[in-house]
Amino acid sequence: MRKAIAELDAEQKAQLLYIADLGTALCTSALAVSILKGIVGLLVGTA
């Protein structure tokens, strides 16, 4: 994997980092929504 990344140029590395950041943001927001849904479910009593 490191060898493949080493062969990328600067623009391709920047795009790869952008995609990785999007994935991290998506997972973080999904986790936040799940936690909030669980809290609301406990408060309402439907969990």
Measure the CA–CA gap between 29 and 13, rounded to whole angstroms.
24
pLDDT at 5: 86
Q: What is residue 43's predicted lDDT score, i.e. its pLDDT?
A: 92
Mean pLDDT by 10 residues, the chain (47 residues): 89 94 96 95 80
The pLDDT of residue 46: 62
**pTM of full prediction above 0.95:** no
DSSP labels, 1-47:
-HHHHHTS-HHHHHHHHHHHHHHHHHHHHHHHHHHHHHHHHHHHT--
